[in-house]
Amino acid sequence: MQSTKFYIDGRWVDPQERRLLDVVDPSSELPLAQISLGSAADIDHAVSSARRAFSQWSDVAVQDRIELLRRLVEIYSARIDEMASVISSEMGAPLTLARTAQAASGLSHLRIFLGEFENFRFEDVLSSQAPDDRIIREPIGVCGLITPWNWPMNQVCLKAAPAMTAGCTVVLKPSEIAPLSSMLFAEFIDRAGYPAGVFNLVNGDGPTAGEALARHADVDMISFTGSSRAGAAVSRAAADSFKRVALELGGKSPYIIFDDLDVAAAAARCARSCFTNTGQSCDAPTRMLVERSAYEQAIEAARAVAAEMQPDDPRKEGNHIGPLVSKAQFDKVQELIFAALGEGARLVAGGPGRPADFDKGYFTRPTIFADVENDMRIAREEVFGPVLAIMPFDNEEEAIRLANDTVYGLSSYIQTGDSARAQRVARKIRAGVVRLNGASRGPGSPFGGYKHSGIGREGGRWGIEEYLEIKAVAGWSRSAA
């Protein structure tokens, strides 16, 4: 990996301006690597490369593009331990999680897209009533991909694989906080043999490189994952050129527990999911809503999980949690913990400050608050740390009202022994994903949110369609075809 270079037009190249940034190991607070911060000129260089490559790449046979994706899968699979190690170092995920979830999620998406493209129809007849109308799905063009630090390969693979295999060319700007895994991915792309200009990578910050990419007139689409605040800025920058914008943003996901099942087991699942990845997941269930008759039982079960999932060295194997990704993130989480205490929430586990055994690193305690009101900051703002807010409800209608009383709508979770009620409540929740009684999402399931949680869907055939334009052609000659 060339840490201070960018991958543009099939080569590792020097930046146009020399602006360096340390990538910090969040467990030690020491520099891990040094990267270059890209300028608008670097973005222009990458976009020009992608634009030149697009005309030829979009004409490459779909099966040939699929074969390149298959080669990418082989390379990624062979080097997945290397990818896991890089992710663990740059953003603090414990090594077990980095391998089995972080790196593995990227590989899983690549494999799922392989299957989806094998069966995807780029051309079709409109209907039996209109046999001379042809619907053609064409690649949208040059795509700017802006990805976050919290699940780096999950998001890079969700965006780059469908875009490139659909026939688009891409410019990736990963988070400058955790860019090394994306640079390793660029090496995989190079080894797979993708033509020059199909995939380009420029590191940089949001206000400079991200803004330039979103605003660039030769970029046809922006796909962004990050905070709702940054998503709004990307939308504003993209507006003047009328490019397509896909956004996967924040969440404040409710986890509803009724009293007609094993409440302790359900509450423990919620707490583990909330604390996994040190709470740095947009779909983390950070609001536990519990039927009042089971309220204290749920609190005790969650408290036990907090005692088990204590912070430790991310380079160790195990089910512990690692540090938060940066000082800025640590400070934000601490601020919201203090805000919850000030607003009168009951501290059940954890609390402010580092755990007792740590005097360095951005480690924080798994923290639980009970008796939370839905107008408290801890209930309304996305903490993005291992902090769980618990509140009671008295009936189904109140549970639905509390769950929907948020500007977000990414994910939600429902736990009940009554399958009819589970389905009834699922239909009432304003969120893009609903999981009933711990069920996992199936391969290729669409992911995205309502309201401030975003626009569009990623994953499976929905993720492919994001990168395609639809052309309707009337009077198509079937004999000529």
Other beta carbons within 10 angstroms of residue 269's beta carbon come to 21
Q: How far is CA 421 from the centre of its chain?
A: 30
Instruction: Using alpha carbons, select from 18, 24, 23 the residue that is nearest to residue 36.
Output: 18
pLDDT in tens, 27-44: 999 999 999 999 999 999
Q: How far is CA 94 from the centre of its chain?
A: 18
Instruction: Using alpha carbons, select from 94, 104, 98 the residue that is nearest to residue 309.
Output: 94
Residue 420 to residue 283: CA distance in whole angstroms: 25
Residue 15 to residue 6: CA distance in whole angstroms: 7
pLDDT at 2 (0 to 100): 61
Q: Give yes or no for a contact between 451 and 468, defined as CB atoms under 8 angstroms apart.
A: no
Q: Do domains 6-249+453-474 and 254-442 have the same CATH topology?
A: no
Per-residue confidence band for 297, with pLDDT thresholds at 50, 70 and 90: very high
pLDDT reading at 1 higher than 90: no
Q: Give yes or no for a contact between 454 and 249, defined as CB atoms under 8 angstroms apart.
A: yes
pLDDT at 477 (0 to 100): 76
Q: What is the DSSP letter of 179?
A: -
For 455-474, what is the mean pLDDT? 97
Q: What is the DSSP letter of 321?
A: B
Instruction: Using alpha carbons, select from 280, 233, 246, 40 the residue that is nearest to residue 159.
Output: 246
Q: Give yes or no for a contact between 432 and 410, defined as CB atoms under 8 angstroms apart.
A: yes
pLDDT at 357 (0 to 100): 87
Residue 350 to residue 369: CA distance in whole angstroms: 9
Domain 6-249+453-474 has CATH 3.40.605.10: yes
Q: Give yes or no for a contact between 194 and 169, defined as CB atoms under 8 angstroms apart.
A: no
The CA-to-CA distance between both ends of the chain, in Å, stands at 47
Strand intervals (E) in 75-166: 123-127, 130-139, 142-146
For 363-374, what is the mean pLDDT? 97
Q: What is the DSSP letter of 439?
A: P
Q: Would you call 30 exposed, middle or buried from its count of C-beta atoms within 10 A (0-12, 13-18, 19+)?
A: exposed
Nearest-10 crossing angle of helices 396-404, 419-428: 30
Q: How far is CA 465 from the centre of its chain?
A: 18
pLDDT at 16 (0 to 100): 95
Residue 356 to residue 363: CA distance in whole angstroms: 10
Do the bridges between strand 346-349 and strand 367-370 make them parallel or antiparallel, or are there none, so unpaired? antiparallel
**What is the chain's mean pLDDT, rounded?**
97
pLDDT reading at 478 higher than 90: no
pLDDT in tens, 396-428: 999 999 999 999 999 999 999 999 999 999 999
Nearest-10 crossing angle of helices 180-192, 62-78: 130
Do the bridges between strand 254-257 and strand 411-415 make them parallel or antiparallel, or are there none, so unpaired? parallel
The superfamily (CATH) of domain 254-442 is: Aldehyde Dehydrogenase; Chain A, domain 2 (3.40.309.10)
Other beta carbons within 10 angstroms of residue 106's beta carbon come to 26
Q: Residue 376: which residues within 8 A CB-CB, separation 6 or more?
A: 339, 340, 343, 344, 345, 389
More confident residue, 480 or 205: 205
Residue 435 to residue 82: CA distance in whole angstroms: 32
pLDDT at 87 (0 to 100): 98
pLDDT reading at 316 higher than 60: yes
Q: How far is CA 112 from the centre of its chain?
A: 17
Amino acid identity at 101: A
pLDDT reading at 361 higher than 70: yes
pLDDT at 21 (0 to 100): 96
Residue 110 to residue 221: CA distance in whole angstroms: 21
169 - beta bridge partners? 142
Element spanning 7, H or E: strand 6-8
Residue 114 to residue 70: CA distance in whole angstroms: 7
pLDDT at 5 (0 to 100): 97
Per-residue confidence band for 50, with pLDDT thresholds at 50, 70 and 90: very high
pLDDT reading at 479 higher than 80: no
Q: Give yes or no for a contact between 9 and 198, defined as CB atoms under 8 angstroms apart.
A: no
How distant, in Å, are the alpha carbons of 268, 413, 457 from that of 263? Answer: 8, 14, 32
pLDDT at 454 (0 to 100): 96
pLDDT at 480 (0 to 100): 65
Q: Please give the positions annotated as active site.
A: 248
pLDDT reading at 89 higher than 80: yes
Residue 144 to residue 172: CA distance in whole angstroms: 6
Q: Give yes or no for a contact between 396 and 310, defined as CB atoms under 8 angstroms apart.
A: no
pLDDT in tens, 124-179: 999 999 999 999 999 999 999 999 999 999 999 999 999 999 999 999 999 999 99
Boundaries of every domain in the chain: 6-249+453-474, 254-442
Global pTM value: 0.96
Residue 411 to residue 433: CA distance in whole angstroms: 5
pLDDT at 401 (0 to 100): 98
